[in-house]
Amino acid sequence: MTTPQAAAEAEKTRAEQIARIAKVELHQHLDGSIPVDLTWGLMKEHKLNPVETLAEMERLLVLQPEEEGAGLLKYLDKFHYPLWVTQFYENISEVAYRVAAAAHAQNVRIFELRYSPIIHTYAGMTVRQAIVCVLEGLNRAEREFADLSCGLVVIAMRHLGPHIAKILARQAVGEAQHLHDRVGVVGFDIAGAERGNPPRLFQEAFEIAKKGGLGLTVHAGEDEGPQFVWEAVDTLGARRIGHGCSAVQDKSLLRRLARDQVLVECCQTSNYQTGAVKRGAPHPIHQFLEAGVPVAICTDNTTVSGTDQNRENALAASKLSLDEIVGVHDRARAHTFIPVERRRPPR
């Protein structure tokens, strides 16, 4: 019979083993991952703090237990306050660096950060400036951490419509990785409210991004059915799917994702929080793996979801062995949009 002390020791050992795994992060948003203390400090500096204490600020930025399961739009409400301070070049550059440094501390070695530049231009920055400032922060992180490889995925927000998406695709191509010796834009995505905004509407933007050499990923199947995942793959040409939870409802879709090796970026904690997966139900990551669909273990938003890479890997390890977790990251590495020649060997 296992004693409580032995169980605690075993859990500690497992946590240490998970922490040592070289990880691949393919789906993490800048806005939802800014450390609370950094947002608070920037707000105080600009005299913009809406509350008086750091603890109160944390409640505004981190999804609270009573707010969980209220839907995607409630979850997205948590992104509003950071936008007050991420309208300035130097702030965004610092934020990007801090988010990358925090990922590196979790032993992330392949790090794709995703970000919608258009919603950071309200104070006068151009879209190009709003992209370059993030690249500056990621380059700073790469200079500091010799075993970290970074790339930026530019997001078009669904609710702003297809025309703005095309503008963003062109701007993203202008800063594409193949035009840079340092960190560049490696991918293009659409995100935001799925309902009423089917992927097919954004076909022209994705054609621009593809012709410009960017990797294609699409938020789909988080708040809508498998048809949106089909459209992301068939109409937009996505090679990766963000969330994709509803895909498990369609066996033929699972076979298609497995056949073409379309990777699903799985974000376990946030999927339960938004209601994309019901509490108590097994996460689709396991069904994807059983069907032969490649997956990545991702955080989505470390601050909003109150999570990190080690925690997400521990959740997956409740049904997977450590060797299987290592295998997930090894296979995910082959699906990163960061070019092979820029990937640094993990230490």
Judge contact between 299 and 307, C-beta under 8 A: yes
227 CB-near residues (< 8 Å, 6+ apart): 198
Our answer to whether residue 67 is catalytic in this structure is no
Judge contact between 216 and 209, C-beta under 8 A: yes
Q: What is the DSSP pairing of strand 215-220 with strand 263-266? A: unpaired
Q: Annotated catalytic residue: which of 222, 231, 265, 312? A: 222
238 CB-near residues (< 8 Å, 6+ apart): 199, 206, 216, 217, 218, 220, 232, 262
Helices 322-333 and 309-316 cross at an angle (nearest 10°) of 120
Residue 27 backbone phi and psi in degrees, to 5: -150, 90
59 CB-near residues (< 8 Å, 6+ apart): none
Place of tokens 């839907």: 71
**Beta-bridge mates of residue 114:** 29, 153
- Containing H/E element for 185? strand 185-191
Kindly report each contact of residues 226-233 with a partner whose C-beta sits within 8 Å and lies 24 or more positions away, as own/partner. 226/250, 226/253, 227/198, 228/194, 228/198, 228/199, 229/253, 229/257, 230/256, 231/198, 231/199, 231/200, 232/199, 233/257, 233/260, 233/262
Across the beta sheet with 263-266, what order do the strands follow?
23-29, 108-115, 149-157, 185-191, 215-220, 240-243, 263-266, 295-297
Judge contact between 189 and 154, C-beta under 8 A: yes
* Cα(194)–Cα(242) distance, integer angstroms: 12
Give catalytic residues, as residue numbers: 222
